[in-house]
Amino acid sequence: MNTRKIIALTIVAAGSTVASLPAAADAEHRAKALEIIKRDFQPRGQAGVDRLAEDGLQAICNRTGNNPPEYIAKRMEADQLATVKLPADGKLLGDWKEGEKIAQSGRGFTWTDNPGLPVGGNCYNCHQISPKELSFGTIGPSLFQYGKLRGNTPDIQKYTYSKIWNAKGFNLCSEMPRFGHVGALNEQQVRHLVALLLDPASPVNK
């Protein structure tokens, strides 16, 4: 049986399991929730209702409580990792100072934002990074001394770049957005973030 059929069957099976549960997870409640979403969410500017549509990966994670069967997760992670676009020139490190600006910025993709302006990473919303920033989230792991602990080898640079580009290639149901994959951050912005985490001169590694 090919991967597409396995994934499709898993989605159906997971959906059937969820629909058979009582309370808010059953089919009736799900249908009602979708009805409310369609009624209350309206497109404004660049923020369209298409953002509420699930792709196959999100459907699997949502319908299995972020705990899909391992064999499905591994195959889909490999598919996600294959979407990572590494720079053609092979250079994965940018300017850590620019990386700090991107990590601090939470602007972009809202209906009030100019679609032509660069989008921020909002990295501090989930991670501790530079020791000077006292306001940070804890949804993700601390990245303080990231490079000091891991080194700055080509393999670590590639891993870090790839993780920022598409974290689902390493953990299918990760809370981390697919920054490069969805076009939120471009190649140069990802390079700057890699430098923020790995450059020995970055305050992250002091």
What is the per-residue pLDDT across 86-114, written as a single tens digit (0 to 9) for each?
A: 999 999 999 999 999 999 998 888 888 88
Q: Which residues contact 20 (CB under 8 A, 6 or more apart)?
A: 26
67 and 31 housed in the same domain: yes
Q: DSSP state, 124?
A: G
Indicate if the alpha-carbon torsion angle 183, 186, 189, 190 is positive or negative. positive
Asked whether residue 104 is domain-assigned, the answer is: yes
Asked whether residue 17 is domain-assigned, the answer is: yes
- Taking a C-beta distance cutoff of 8 angstroms, is the pair 160, 180 a contact? no
Other beta carbons less than 10 A from residue 205's beta carbon: 20
Residue 66: give the domain boundaries: 3-78
200 and 114 housed in the same domain: yes
What is the per-residue pLDDT across 116-156, written as a single tens digit (0 to 9) for each?
A: 888 999 999 999 999 999 999 999 999 999 999 999 999 99
Asked whether residue 84 is domain-assigned, the answer is: no
The pTM (predicted TM-score) of the whole model is: 0.82
